Amino acid sequence: MSSIMKLKTLQGHLEDLNGFSNPKIQFEQYETPAHLAATALYTIQTQFESIEGCTVLDAGCGPGIWGIGAALLGAGAVTAVDIDDEVLQVFKENVDEMEVTNIDAIQCDFLDSNVCRWEGYFDTVLMNPPFGTKNNAGMDMKFLRMGTVLSSDSVYSLHKSSTRSHIEKKIKDWGMKGAVIAQMKYELPATYRFHKQNSMNIAVDLWRVYHPH
């Protein structure tokens, strides 16, 4: 494996990225903390070599922390998709700021397979999907399922630790293999008016879901 960027350097770059300018609750838009994203990406590359030289999809990319992080770690090509054209403007600013050239953003509904027709196209799919709370029940599973369709190898996805047994069952139903490769704390800042606390910590699992070869 070639020498990849150090974890601290990667985190420093990700801390410089702009976040959501106008987060939308209907899309459950929350920022992924730079430390969490950097640690996750670093784990994905060092343990599974799933980034460097790979074709990577950042699904529901938001301002682009996963996709840009993957590009910085040497991904062959990164495609980022999001339903929200407003956040893709922020994404573009971040890409320009970081001067990464091998990354493309597309506005589309990731869950609409007619729009995103890339079955088995990507080596690696990265996602921090909506957790499926409020009005989006089951959204996390829909994202994960679509990720398994579009990846030829592995999906790396963040989910609440409380959903672990549910995910284990689903993965089995889909004929996939999977394991939790890291357990982390997701510090969620108060983002919307209904949030009473300044921030809260949520226990999350970083899953690797992959096709049995």
Give the pLDDT confidence score for residue 199 in this predicted structure. Answer: 64
The pairing of strands 177-189 and 199-210 is antiparallel
Contacts of 4 (CB under 8 A, 6+ apart): 45, 46, 52, 73, 74
Give the pLDDT confidence score for residue 189 in this predicted structure. Answer: 59
Question: Which of 81, 129, 106, 93 has its CA nearest to residue 18?
Answer: 93
DSSP 4: P
Q: Is 163 exposed, middle or buried (0-12, 13-18, 19+ CB in 10 A)?
A: middle
The pairing of strands 151-160 and 199-210 is antiparallel
Per-residue confidence of the chain (213 residues) as pLDDT tens digits? 446 789 999 999 999 998 766 656 555 666 788 899 999 999 999 999 999 999 999 999 999 999 999 999 999 999 999 988 888 999 999 999 999 999 999 998 888 766 556 788 999 999 998 776 656 678 899 999 999 999 999 999 999 999 999 999 999 999 999 999 999 887 765 554 554 555 678 889 999 999 987
Nearest-angstrom CA–CA distance, 202 and 183: 11
The amino acid occupying position 121 is Y
Give the pLDDT confidence score for residue 127 in this predicted structure. Answer: 95
Domain 7-210 has CATH 3.90.1150.10: no
Q: Please give the order of strands across the beta sheet that includes 122-127.
A: 103-107, 77-82, 55-59, 122-127, 151-160, 199-210, 177-189
Give the pLDDT confidence score for residue 185 in this predicted structure. Answer: 87
Per domain, the residue ranges of the chain are 7-210
